[in-house]
Amino acid sequence: MLKKNQIFRGTGERLDGQMNGITHADGITVFVPGLLPGETADIRIVKAEKRYAFGRIEALLTESPERRTPPCPCYAKCGGCAGMHMSYEETLRAKQQAVRDVLRRIGGIEAEVPLPLGMEDPYHYRNKTAMPVALVDGKPRAGYYRPRSHDLTPVDSCLLAMPPADEIVKTVLDWMNEYRIPAYDESDKTGLIRHIITRTNRNGQSMVTLAASESSIPHQDELCSRLMTVPGVVSVCLTVNARGDNVILGDSYTVLAGAPRLEDTLCGLSYQLSPLSFFQVNPVQTELLYQTAIRFAALKPTDRVADVYCGAGTISLLAAQQAGHVTGIEIVPQAIVDAKENACCNGIANADFLCGAAEQVLPALVKDGLRPDVILLDPPRKGADPAVLTAIAEAAPDRIVYVSCDPATLARDLKQLTASGYLLNAVQPVDMFCWTGHVETVCLLYHQKKDFIFVPYEPKDAEYLKK
């Protein structure tokens, strides 16, 4: 068995789903951050378990041609990115392999997995950031947590955030310093400002939200006055989380200055966003993701669609433009309010939205006779509830389009769906979170017993989405 601080010489074999290098020593799998396939290094064991271990590069002996100098000074200290030490193309190949591996290992599925649809410029794509605030060297600082910890790494400029975020965060920190506004301390649950949240739309307008432990903000007028002079800022809001947990947003929000909502567009539709609204953080790649999902759905004007875990209705409203009727299901009340308002402001009348847990609402609808032609499934990271998958099998739609943010839970759910009579027809990853280990994946399944003529999807067809 490997021991802590043992040093061995290893060669990178491949990358795991979090961009860690994988090698072996004494028959044990060793995960090594920063090690690329083909590279040889002297590696120190930092943690050893019975079946696996974690290592650290002590000396890099050979370098991969895919290795790059990380452009971010906070790289490896901040837990936000995992792949900036390699070429962007190599990150796409790693994600492709990660999806292929989990489909095989967890789902028992052999599938053709194309490269993820990537970005021409994979920087400054995030329209939303949520930076925790903490006292560092006697001053309030904002940034991101170190990997696998809640130790703050101060970040003055983030290469993934849309540009207004940096100036907004600096403005808030300057205000905190001048008026001695205390940063929240997780250890003793004291202090006031927990997170600085920015959201920027495609027109360059920004909404700023402070997450605080109390509703009373000293020198609030001074803060709002400063923020509203930052170019593009149109709204300042406050949300309160006094529970002491790690959840960023509270259950409600207050408008301190400016507009109560921020308008943004996606795939030609308009959306009114509150601080509590869910909206994908990468608008360019979100359009690719949703266009792929709608393409997979192959909707007809007579189709009845159920959008399970519909959020604020983004995919629902796109589907409603081609289908006969769409029913969205979502457990978050504010998201349902947003979905209904978004349907109204876009003049879409053939979509309705139901608030409740999908594992309760969908089985009840199916029991009452709902038989959709298409089910759109976009669950949270934990995947779909088994009761949802059982209800889908009972409803027996012609086709299922599954949009996933976690390949492992996707593979688990596909295993249940394929055991219920569905065939996996197509897989298309999308690089929504560039330079990180995360990947979105769209899958198409169709019922093998249905009288439905379907033209098989070829991965190269997705090339039109890049144009």
Whole-angstrom Cα distance, residue 230 to residue 452?
A: 55
pLDDT confidence of residue 464:
34
What pLDDT, in 10s, does the model give residues 309-353? 999 899 999 999 999 999 999 998 988 998 999 999 999 999 999
pLDDT confidence of residue 331:
93
Query: How much is the average pLDDT of 34-56?
Result: 96
- The pLDDT > 90 percentage for the chain reads 85
Q: Above 60 in pLDDT, residue 78?
A: yes
Q: Above 50 in pLDDT, residue 294?
A: yes
pLDDT confidence of residue 1:
82
Write down the catalytic residue from 310, 405, 434, 443: 405
pLDDT confidence of residue 453:
52
**Residue 314 contacts residue 294 (beta carbons within 8 Å):** no
> Buried b vs exposed e over 86-116: b needs ≥16 C-beta within 10 Å?
bbbebbbbbbbbbbbbbbeebbebebebbeb
pLDDT confidence of residue 357:
95
**pLDDT tier at 20 (50, 70, 90 boundaries)?**
very high
Q: Above 90 in pLDDT, residue 102?
A: yes
**pLDDT tier at 187 (50, 70, 90 boundaries)?**
confident
**Residue 424: φ, ψ to 5°:** -80, 115
pLDDT confidence of residue 14:
94
Residue predicted with more confidence, 278 or 49? 49
139: which residues sit within 8 A by CB, 6+ positions away? 177
C-alpha dihedral (462, 463, 466, 467), degrees to nearest 10: -120
Q: Above 80 in pLDDT, residue 195?
A: yes
**Residue 367 contacts residue 300 (beta carbons within 8 Å):** no
Please give the mean pLDDT across all residues of the chain.
92
pLDDT confidence of residue 467:
34
pLDDT confidence of residue 459:
45
Half-sphere exposure of 290 (CA within 13 A, CB side): 22
Lowest mean pLDDT among 219-228, 242-251, 417-426, 443-452: 443-452
Task: Identify the H or E element spanning 271.
Answer: strand 269-273
347 to 201, 261, 330: CA distances (angstroms): 21, 19, 21
> pTM score, two decimals?
0.90
> Buried b vs exposed e over 145-164: b needs ≥16 C-beta within 10 Å?
eeeeeeebbbbeebbbbbeb
Q: Above 80 in pLDDT, residue 161?
A: yes
- How large is the angle between the packed helices 386-395 and 407-419, nearest 10 degrees? 40
**pLDDT tier at 465 (50, 70, 90 boundaries)?**
very low
pLDDT confidence of residue 173:
98
- Could you confirm whether 405 is annotated as catalytic? yes
Give the domains, in start order, of the chain with CATH numbers.
Answer: 1-66 (2.40.50.140), 128-260 (2.40.50.1070), 283-466 (3.40.50.150)
Query: How much is the average pLDDT of 131-136?
Result: 95
Residue predicted with more confidence, 251 or 68? 68
**pLDDT tier at 384 (50, 70, 90 boundaries)?**
very high
**pLDDT tier at 457 (50, 70, 90 boundaries)?**
very low
